[in-house]
Structure 1
Amino acid sequence: MLNKNIRYILMLSLGFTLQSNQFLKAQEKVKHPNILWITCEDMSANLSMYGDSTIQTPYLSKFSQQAVKYTRMYSVAGVCAPSRSGIITGMYPPAIGTQHMRTGTGGEKDPSIPSYQAVTPPEVKAFPEYLRAAGYYCTNNQKTDYQIGEPFTVWDDCSKDAHWRNRPKDKPFFAVFNINETHESMIWRNANRPLRVNPKDIKLPPYYPESDIIRRDIARYYDNIMLMDSIAGSILKQLEDDGLAENTIVFFFSDHGAALPWYKREIYERGLHVPFMVRFPDGQLANTSDNQLLSFMDLAPTVLSLANIPLPKHFNGQAFLGNQKAESPRRYIFAARDRLDEHYDLVRTVRDSKFQYIRNYQPEKLNYMDVGFRKQMPLMAEILKLRDQKKLDSIQNRWFKSKPVEELYDLEKDPFELNNLAENPDYATKLNELREVQNNWSLQIKDKGFMSEKDMVRLMWPGGLQPTTAKPTSQIKQQKQLTQIALSCPTNGASIGYKIGDSGSWELYHQPIEVKKGVKVYAKAVRYGYKESEEIIITTNK
């Protein structure tokens, strides 16, 4: 009888232990949930769940029914590289010197400015580094365009093969998949593909004249969205096939507005407003809408908040989800336009829940920038031809006129932003409010757009030469069976990576590491915008 009781108690204890272990593992997943970003390029909210019925996107439509749809998410720039630099760092591009499009091409108008990588303030880190330090496996497939180089410490894998499936067992993941099919260039590169959208069904915005060429290119833009939808669907299916859909938070969004002339590269509503949806496990907030103002500056803090990682104080945004969600929603969003390829401009904007204010600091310049890249698009060539033939109406011709110093639009009454209210006395109070808000924002972030690019680069790269990160140094502490190694770098703001053994992969250093005696450890460092340091080899005694 006693033996039976003992066996019963042991079995009961074992059951409690197993349940307890399962509970702890479940709690760990809640503490560090998997997070997946599915991103696309150059796309406004031209989807049925946002009121545009031009095409059907079955996979994203299904996803929207499982997700919360955010109706007011905004990029910080109307073009990819500044936008992406802001996303990855959580900092406004003009605050860290990444505001120009782009730093690394060498096609600047001023030939004395080298192709460069922006040297950010020393406290600035790409936010996946905080996730990696907390134990996440972080992957990016594949676009970067961060303007700070491609620091090896940001991702566990940044390649066309990067995937959560390659992670070590039981590690939470943060995975990014960027879908290129909606990029501006695909309008002409996909021109010979079958077109599934009837150009006659396209509703032309007032910015465009009637033209078969224009209709065809806009139809191609929508067809490319359909291609993107099918790829997004395949990524979501992989997540389900792996049994991960129920413990992964999934984001979907575009990097800025549509891939069309007078949309992309602009900081009007049409250049900044993007689709943005988040799906939570267990159907939380499924098929709901959220109308709060959100900025791409809020993405980094929100991901860290969802991952239960303390937020750095230097972030320019605030979390809108997770246990560190901001107490008050944001009142304004901000964006900037600076050099675009070979042409300079200086425009800043602020938007509240109803009005958008735009300040043109170089009003002598035309709205239109003669950017060579987009002239490969037949739509762009057609507009220029019709301009030269004087066949554009007054609205369409505005693009080729100089700009007013200030613009103010009521986005509820005037979604196409055709009626500038800046000189209307009935809106003087709102104009003064937003003017002051915009001015204070530029002062607060120490807006680098107000210095010449040449001077900015001279400060980052003295003498026009890229600085080099100093080699890391090591301190070794011998223990009984293990060796403890502490790493540091004399370069302020440098991130350090290490790998153990000849076949290891680069890990982010964030605390002393312990290795078996006799094992080689390799280390190197990089400050964003600098060259990587030389690699050091640390040999531990047997």
Structure 2
Amino acid sequence: MKRLLLLVLATFACRAFADDRPNIVWISAEDHGPHLGCYGDSYATTPHLDAFAANSLIYTKASSNAPVCAPARTTIISGIYPPSLGAHNMRSRVPSPSYLKFFPVYLRDAGYYTTNQSKEDYNLETDDKGWHESSRTAHWKNRPDPQQPFFAVFNFTGTHESQIRNDNESPHHDPALAPIPPYHPDTPETRKDWAQYYDRLSKLDAYFQKRLDEIEAAGLADDTIVIFWSDHGSGMPRGKRYPGWSGLNVAMIAHVPEKYQHLAPSDYMPGGKSDRLVSFVDLAPTTLALAGIKIPDYYHGQAFLGPNLAPAPRYSFGFKGRMDERIDECRTVTDGRYVYIRNYYPHLPHGQYLWYQQQTPTTSKWYQLFKDGKLNAVQSAFWQAHPAEELFDLANDPHETVNLAKNPAHQQTLTKLRAEMAAHQNRTRDLSFIPEPMLRKPTLAGVSPAEFFSNYFEPNSNRLELGNDSVSKYWRFANLLSAAPEAVKAALPEAIDATNDDEACVAVVASELVALHARDAEIRKQALETLVSYARYPENELILSLQAGVALDHAHQAGIELPESAKQLVADHESIPGWAKSYRPRLLERFQE
């Protein structure tokens, strides 16, 4: 009897505690920026989201940290900047370090019912993601105890980039009235795609209200904190995948009911706007704070809702790694007005040729017009090599079209943001300087890159120690790809020797440099054959084979004749993982035409 009484009391105590904790619901949508009526967009038709915002707090300077879904969602689930985990490249699928728990694990272990409907797309592999259920039917309604607090995520995919390409059965927005950014050419394709994009936002609006109605119908509106966010910039080209503000800036709206106003920030008011810098790395600590759970010490972000808020951060950081089949590496920092972009491959354009992105009519038309020489300077910039540093003033140039990095009047701002970026990379142990083929070695062995490469950092410091190793050799030749002709000429003998380097990714980048710049036909041919040998798969690791294939494509696009062996590379192979099935075949098509 005594035992039964204790059980009843324990159950009552648990429910009493549960009743004091808020339910938390996230409603997210893919591939769109703050193109909503509540953000001042007069072309948008989003009445339900606008009404929600009128009773909530709008964050005007929210960012996704990454301009594409998998790295962005990796940031969210981990509470850590993915470059610190070697998980910043698109669909890189790396093991989680031993110390890391996905944040839903903390919620579940604290008694929350956790559901996700249904996109995950994390770059991190782990045995426990923390979800009671993650599927197309996952729902907070499925919890076994109606008194149990819940954390539920609903992801709307109807705004995805791919949906811009589909005909809309009920078009609503007039293409003739579509707002065209200055970097896009004003063509019928561009207008139709922008109108279609806004049509999809209207579909999101209806979906959003359906989720709110479910909470209301269950009588839980007063007990539920709702956060709406979009997962990165628009699916239109130079939105998604672009490391500037048009790729990182997202919609984020938070509603805290009266019952939980003690968890709201001091500037919270219905219909209010906050210019606090918030980003996806802050979502995990914020959600744990709302649930009364201690925030792990290893998190990089800060809570922007909940008790005892930290002061607003002065800067927000972004990153970009490999996009699909194309290597890239960019870092971004903003103070809310100025955006600084550091491009580590300045010889490559922001608009690298990505087969998947080219399926959007605007993209393919824009690219063709560029090749035909029919664009102005602003419209051409996306397809051209960009400088190592870019600086934009969002107050006077919201579309990021005027690079101020060399403007004498802005050198103080440039220096400050450059220093903040370097400090951030050291503080967070950014692994991006380690080429992805090297990061893949521990990954394929089931070891976290963050743990494997921990000895690459200076003792008692977070600074990456390159030394005289393969990493420093790789970047020497990578930097020469954008160097002046005299510097390339002086380095060619060293590059020729490095085409036989024991580290394959060093041999690949050195071979590309030689293939593009060697005057001796036989030396060039040998470099191209080296690239062909590394482009073979499955003889070589997949990402390495892609990098060698991209180097061959660069040579092909430069008008260099490729050897017959390049045209005989086999595209399909059953061992290519599903996330990369299209990468290799589409890449080889580019230089085997």
TM band (smaller chain): 0.7 to 0.9
Give the deviation of 1:404 after TM superposition. Answer: 0.6
Higher helix share: 2
The answer to whether 1:136 aligns with 2:112 is yes
Decide whether the 8 Å contact of 1:37 with 1:176 is kept in 2. yes
Give the deviation of 1:231 after TM superposition. Answer: 0.6
Decide whether the 8 Å contact of 2:106 with 2:130 is kept in 1. no
- Name stretches of at least 5 consecutive residues in structure 2 with no aligned partner: 1-10, 262-268, 450-593
The AA in structure 1 aligned to 2:287 is: V
Q: Flag the 1:465–1:337 CA change in 2: closer, same or farther, 3 A.
A: closer
Decide whether the 8 Å contact of 1:79 with 1:256 is kept in 2. yes
The answer to whether 1:172 aligns with 2:149 is yes
Match of 2:341 among 355, 358, 380: 358
- Does the residue aligned with 2:75 lie in a helix, a strand or coil? helix
Give the deviation of 1:429 after TM superposition. Answer: 1.4
Q: What whole-Å deviation, never above 9, does each CA across 1:6-27 have from its counterpart, x for those lacking one?
A: xxxxxxxxxxxxxxx9999666
The answer to whether 1:290 aligns with 2:274 is yes
Match of 1:320 among 304, 316, 326: 304
Match of 1:397 among 349, 358, 380: 380
Which residues of 2 match residues 23-422 of structure 1 at below 5 A?
Answer: 28-30=18-20, 32-103=21-92, 117-149=93-125, 151-169=127-145, 170-188=147-165, 190-282=166-258, 284=261, 285-326=269-310, 328-422=311-405
Q: Flag the 1:172–1:338 CA change in 2: closer, same or farther, 3 A.
A: same
- Does the residue aligned with 1:455 lie in a helix, a strand or coil? helix
Decide whether the 8 Å contact of 1:97 with 1:119 is kept in 2. no
What is the root-mean-square deviation in Å for CA atoms of aligned residues? 2.0
In 2, Cα distance between equivalents of 1:228 and 1:201: 21
In 1, Cα distance between equivalents of 2:87 and 2:422: 19
The AA in structure 2 aligned to 1:182 is: T
In 2, Cα distance between equivalents of 1:463 and 1:83: 22
Greater relative contact order (Cα 8 A, min sep 6): structure 1 or 2? 1
Give the deviation of 1:398 after TM superposition. Answer: 0.6
In 2, Cα distance between equivalents of 1:198 and 1:251: 30
Q: What whole-Å deviation, never above 9, does each CA across 1:348-396 have from its counterpart, x for those lacking one?
A: 1110032111111111112211111121111112112222322111100
The AA in structure 1 aligned to 2:163 is: M
Decide whether the 8 Å contact of 2:95 with 2:447 is kept in 1. no
In 2, Cα distance between equivalents of 1:41 and 1:72: 18
Moved over 2 A (4+): 21-30, 149-153, 282-285, 459-466
In 2, Cα distance between equivalents of 1:465 and 1:271: 28
1:455 aligned partner: 438
Q: What whole-Å deviation, never above 9, does each CA across 1:77-114 have from its counterpart, x for those lacking one?
A: 100000000001100010112100122xxxxxxxxxxx
Q: Flag the 1:141–1:422 CA change in 2: closer, same or farther, 3 A.
A: same
In 2, Cα distance between equivalents of 1:151 and 1:258: 32
In 1, Cα distance between equivalents of 2:431 and 2:19: 41
- Name stretches of at least 5 consecutive residues in structure 1 with no aligned partner: 1-20, 104-116, 467-542
Decide whether the 8 Å contact of 2:18 with 2:149 is kept in 1. no
Q: What whole-Å deviation, never above 9, does each CA across 1:141-162 have from its counterpart, x for those lacking one?
A: 0000011236444200000110
In 2, Cα distance between equivalents of 1:66 and 1:455: 49
In 2, Cα distance between equivalents of 1:358 and 1:55: 29
Decide whether the 8 Å contact of 1:305 with 1:324 is kept in 2. no
Decide whether the 8 Å contact of 2:225 with 2:255 is kept in 1. yes
- Does the residue aligned with 1:185 lie in a helix, a strand or coil? helix
Q: How many pairs are equivalent?
A: 430
The AA in structure 1 aligned to 2:149 is: P
Higher strand share: 1
Decide whether the 8 Å contact of 1:144 with 1:150 is kept in 2. no
TM-score for the superposition, normalised by structure 2: 0.70
In 1, Cα distance between equivalents of 2:126 and 2:174: 41
- Does the residue aligned with 2:124 lie in a helix, a strand or coil? coil
Decide whether the 8 Å contact of 1:256 with 1:272 is kept in 2. yes
In 2, Cα distance between equivalents of 1:297 and 1:314: 12
Q: What whole-Å deviation, never above 9, does each CA across 1:469-496 have from its counterpart, x for those lacking one?
A: xxxxxxxxxxxxxxxxxxxxxxxxxxxx
The AA in structure 2 aligned to 1:227 is: K
Give the deviation of 1:120 after TM superposition. Answer: 2.4
Deviates more, 1:118-127 or 1:80-89: 118-127
In 1, Cα distance between equivalents of 2:364 and 2:129: 43
In 2, Cα distance between equivalents of 1:290 and 1:464: 41
TM-score for the superposition, normalised by structure 1: 0.77
In 1, Cα distance between equivalents of 2:376 and 2:127: 48
The AA in structure 1 aligned to 2:283 is: L
In 2, Cα distance between equivalents of 1:463 and 1:64: 44
Decide whether the 8 Å contact of 2:45 with 2:198 is kept in 1. no
